[in-house]
Amino acid sequence: MDKVRKFVWFPTPYHSILLWLVWQILHDFSRGHMVLGAVFAIVIPWIVAPLSEEAAVAKKPIKALTYTFRLLIDIAVSNYDVAKRVLQSNRHLKPAFIVVPLDIKEPVPLTIFTSSVSLTPGTVSVELSEDRKWLYVHVLHLEDEQALIKLIKDRYEAPLKEIFGC
């Protein structure tokens, strides 16, 4: 049995704002579309919110912004790194699998964490263990396994734990 939910006017306020903003960007901020976008931003969450579980919300938005900026810088750096490795000879490559122990359990922070790992220096997250305690990662060029695991945990997992408060 599914439990009956009480009607809420704004079940997902952040998603409503995002929806409105995306609608405005698509229609160059014209006045009519501001009203139409507002109607959509209110009505669509009524329909969609009961379909999904309640998701974790960032408790520290400013920290989240600094995290995003650091991630963007890391993406640029990682591109330089990967480009260098690609243009060198294949013989110098030392690919490897590593396993990262996880402290985060909630789905949303976990998704952000694995995405960050995939986007940054020479690592791609490949698989998660069944109980969500280990993350299998493929590394393009591995020098020091323990140092890399520590770097990933300190640089991406610790701030995410702080942001989502879990």
Q: Applying CB under 8 A, which residues contact other proteins?
A: 22, 25-26, 28, 75-76, 78-79, 82-83, 86-87, 90, 93-99, 114-119, 122, 124-131, 133-134, 136, 138, 140, 142
> What φ, ψ does residue 67 adopt, rounded to 5°?
-60, -45
Q: How far is the CB of 74 from other proteins (least distance, A)?
A: 11
Nearer to other proteins, 53 or 130 (CB): 130
Q: How far is the CB of 91 from other proteins (least distance, A)?
A: 9
Cβ neighbours for 74, distance < 8 A, ≥ 6 positions apart = 119, 120, 121, 155
Q: How far is the CB of 142 from other proteins (least distance, A)?
A: 6
Give the Cα separation of 98 and 137 in Å (integer).
5
For the purposes of burial, counting CB atoms within 10 Å of the CB of 156, is it exposed (0-12), middle (13-18) or buried (19 or more)? buried
Give the Cα separation of 77 and 85 in Å (integer).
13
Nearer to other proteins, 83 or 158 (CB): 83
Nearer to other proteins, 51 or 76 (CB): 76
Q: How far is the CB of 6 from other proteins (least distance, A)?
A: 31
Beta strand 123-128 pairing with 96-101: unpaired
Q: Are 106 and 54 in contact (CB under 8 A)?
A: no
Q: How far is the CB of 18 from other proteins (least distance, A)?
A: 11
